[in-house]
Structure 1
């Protein structure tokens, strides 16, 4: 059985700000930009891993979400409490400099980790944790 990850979902509060980060700072390419029933989904791919789509969606993308749950999700997103994504890079230092120059919020500059990685961390404009790592 051949089982692979095809989509990864990231909650965002503003698609245009998110695109400035994921497309412009990280260099991902937009594959789809779809609106449906007042919601918007944007999928992006890495040119080196086009089979994995990252979906930028509203925190409360399910129309059945109650008003109270929608508010709770938006508050968690604003606090950076929803999970983000980890990327791998063949040059974490160059990736860090590229993203840092865009004004992204830096959480950790590149450093060697005891578990065999060199990594750095940012927050995207919605507060999600974004890590970039490189095997040592």
Structure 2
């Protein structure tokens, strides 16, 4: 078996990123350790498992928030769009559009803490 464990997400500040992912999105901290030399490894992810995000401090010239240009980089799936949407709004997450209903589910594009585009999506129920 093979699976994708984590993906790297470039950040300017670990604590700022933790507040976004944990408070606004509802992720859990999977690892937050500081090693000899001051290097800090921070990983977050959905509470029930699945692929997580390794929050890596970016170099000064790194494309933070633009890792994939203007395209949507990540797709956050939920089984309760209304509740997750409300949670995110209450934490100041900026949505680029109102929720819309598509054949593949209820969806809206939102921005991460650096302006990068994400989809919040609830697939249709069978």
**TM-score (structure 2 length as normaliser):** 0.80
Query: Are 2:14 and 1:25 aligned?
Result: no
Do residues 120 (structure 1) and 108 (structure 2) align? yes
Any idea what the Cα deviations from partners look like across 1:20-50, whole Å, max 9, x if unmatched?
Answer: 111011111111113354543311121122x
> Aligned pair in 2 of structure 1 residues 94, 13: CA closer, same or farther (>3 Å)?
same
Tell me: CA distance 1:128–1:35, structure 2 relative to 1, closer, same or farther (3 Å).
farther
Instruction: After TM superposition, give the deviation of residue 124 of structure 1 in Å.
Output: 1.6
Which structure has more helix as a fraction of its residues?
1
Q: Deviations over 1:59-91 (max 9, x none)?
A: 23xxxxxxxxx42x1xx32xx321442111001
Q: Say whether 1:96 aligns with 2:81.
A: no
- Please tell me whether the aligned partners of residues 91 and 134 of structure 1 are also in contact (alpha carbons under 8 angstroms): yes
> Which consecutive residues of structure 1, in runs of 5 or more, have no partner in the other structure?
61-69
Q: Secondary structure at the match of 2:20?
A: helix
More strand by share: 1
Quote the Cα distance in structure 1 between the aligned partners of 2:34 and 2:122.
35
Cα separation, 2, equivalents of 1:113 and 1:39: 44
User: Structure 2: how far apart are the matches of 1:38 and 1:127?
Assistant: 28
Aligned residues: 119
Q: Which residue in 1 is equivalent to 2:42?
A: 42
TM-score (norm 1): 0.75
- Aligned partner of 2:67 in structure 1 is 82
The CA deviation string for residues 81-119 of structure 1, in whole angstroms up to 9 with x for no partner, is: 2144211100112111110111122222321124x1211
Structure 2 spans left out of the alignment, 5+ residues = none
- Cα separation, 2, equivalents of 1:113 and 1:42: 35
User: Distance between the aligned counterparts of 1:9 and 1:109, measured in 2?
Assistant: 28
